[in-house]
Structure formats: structure tokens, C-alpha cells
A = this chain, B = another copy of it.
Amino acid sequence: MSKPKVVVTRQLIDEAQRILEDRKGELEIVQWNSEKPCERAWLLENAKGATGILVMLSDQVNDELLQAAGDQLKVIASFSVGTDHIERAALKKRNVRLGYTPTCLTDAVADLTVMLILMAQRRGGESMAKVIKGEWPQMPWHPLLMTGPQIRGCTVGFLGFGRIAQASLQRLLAFRIKRAIYLTSKPGQPVKEDHFNLVKTANIPIEPAQSADQIASESDVVIVGCALTPDTKHLVSTDFFKKMKKLAVIINIARGPVIDTDALVKALDQDQIFGAGLDVIENEPNIQADHPILKQPRCVLVPHIGSATIETREQMATESVENLLAGLTGKEMVNEVEL
């Protein structure tokens, strides 16, 4: 009997690669061998006869790929939290299991959320740029020079209040914020999952909001942490910005299209809000140097590095391999998508 074949569309990081190679005796391992994303033609060719495939965000998993693989395919293990690149229905139809890595990046993204809030309030990008341009010697000190709003005493509003939003709130409590409000798909209702027991134990009010309007008008910091759906696309647009406080900042660590970029540029231009901190943006990564958002000194934009810590990426790799192996043998995955 021939060994089951697995296809892996990347060289993996240390520990994960080791776990995989430990199975060389029992598995035929075919692995893409370059720093560049895996080529589609290579994947379609090598998928043939595979029992499991470990894919990256950049690999489309659809009928074409599943058909190329064949009926023996048991598992797709995705090195990702998001599964937008995967046609779930196609997997379900063929009874192929789907593993992913949603939980291990919570801390890394929550950390980055705090970084972006502080940079937006404290003018991190703007003040760094002034130093780099050599303007520091010509900045005579005065009491309001480069000042921004302070996080102590802020009301923090969350659009979406899942695990990452709650982990961010957990950090913000130490900065002595005053109050948190959150909007979920069920406005006005208490959140179901209190992942870190904050709602129960925090010494500040943590309350459901009735509407996006309430989040806009009452928050000093707005954090976009919701999934992208037809309902949340451009949820934050001109109307929302008009209702925000002049000293408020907006943060997006979720998906770019929840914020209408043109409206954000206008809001910053017209000083309707104080600043913005974005890890994601519409049409990323196709943001050219002449993009209007990059002309806004009070907007910090980083290139989707929410989960980009060494520790997190190692854990994502390890969990992907574990999901792959569990899928081959019918065992329980670390995290499996219900199809």
C-alpha cells in the first residue's frame, strides 16, 4: 500500500517543519520550495492523489482544486484565521474537513490594537515623521506642542466584540479607561461569550450599545473589530464620522472595507476626528505611494501585521500541521470549521 500524500504550499517554520518531517516514514510529503507564494499550476498538478493539503491565505481552495486532487482528499488545513479563500460549500459537498488557526493570534492582534490606539492619540506617526525630516530642531517648545488626547478616562467603543476585541479591552483596563460600549449583531443585548470574564469582573461599566450612532457619538476611541459582511461594509462612513467627537480616534484591526476610506480621508481633512490607526484598508495591499490616505499626517497605516509575531506565526504553523495530521487520521483538530 502506498503512503498517503500530503501537499504543503510553503516551507514552514522550525518546529512545524520538524513535526511534518517526522512523518516522512508514513507520508509522501510534497512541499512548495520557494519564498514566493505557491504557483497555481504547481498546486493543481501536485494536488493529484493527495489525502491532505496545507494551504496559505494566498491559495484559492475551490472546485477546481478539489477536483484536481480527487475523491481520496480528506482534509484542507489552512494556515489562517480567515477562510475567505476557501469555498466551504465545495468542501462540504465532498465531505472534506477544514482546519484553521483562529485562536492563537488573539494576543498579537490585541497588542497591535493598543499600539495603534496610542499612535493615533499620541501622534506617533506624525511626530516620528517630523524627526525624520529633520524638523525637531525647529520645533520651539510650547505647552500644547504635539499634544494629543490621553487614554485615561476615555470611553472605548467596539464595533464587534469578539475574542480579539475583548482581549484588547483587557489591556486597555490597565490604562484606566472609564467605560466600554460594544455593538454586536444584536444591538442592546449583552454579549454571549465573555472570554476573559471582563464583563463580570471589570471595575468599569462594559455595556451593549443600541446602535452604531451611539458608538460614534459617545466614544473617544472607536475600534473596528467585526467581520466583513454585507451589513458591515462601509458601516463607518460619512454619517458615522460626523457623529464622532473631534478628539476621537478610529482604529481598524478587522477588515478594510468596514471603513469607507474616502469618508475617512474627508473626516481627517476637515478635523472631524483627531486621528486614525489602521492595520487594514480597502484594496490592500494595492496601496500606492500617492494614495490619499498616506497624505494624512494623523493617520497611521501599517501593512496588515496584526498577527505578525514570531511566536504567533510559529504556533499557527504548528497548529496547521496538527490539523492536517488530525484530518488524515480522523482525529480531533485544534480548530475545525463546521461546514
Contacts and interface: CB of A to CB of B under 8 A. Distances in A.
Interface residues of A, number: 75
A114 interface: yes
A316 B308 CA distance: 39
Contact of A308 (B36, B148, B171): B148
Contacts of A119: 115, 119, 124
A214 to B, nearest CB: 24
Interface string A145-180: 111111111000000000000000011011110000
A136 B57 CA distance: 16
Contacts of A310: 144, 147-150, 247
Contact of A122 (B112, B136, B153): B112
Contacts of A128: 125, 128, 300-302
A294 interface: yes
A132 B289 CA distance: 6
A103 interface: no
A201 interface: no
A118 interface: yes
Contacts of A288: 134, 137
A294 B135 CA distance: 12
Interface string A166-196: 0000110111100000000000000000000
Quick one: which of A107, A176, A308, A317 has the most chain B CB within 10 A?
Answer: A308
A19 interface: no
Contacts of A141: 37, 56-58
Given A147-B309, A170-B174, A303 B12 contact: no
Interface of A: 10, 12-13, 35-37, 56-58, 79, 107-108, 111-112, 114-115, 118-119, 121-125, 127-128, 130-134, 136-137, 139-153, 170-171, 173-176, 247, 284-290, 294, 300-303, 305, 308-313, 316-317
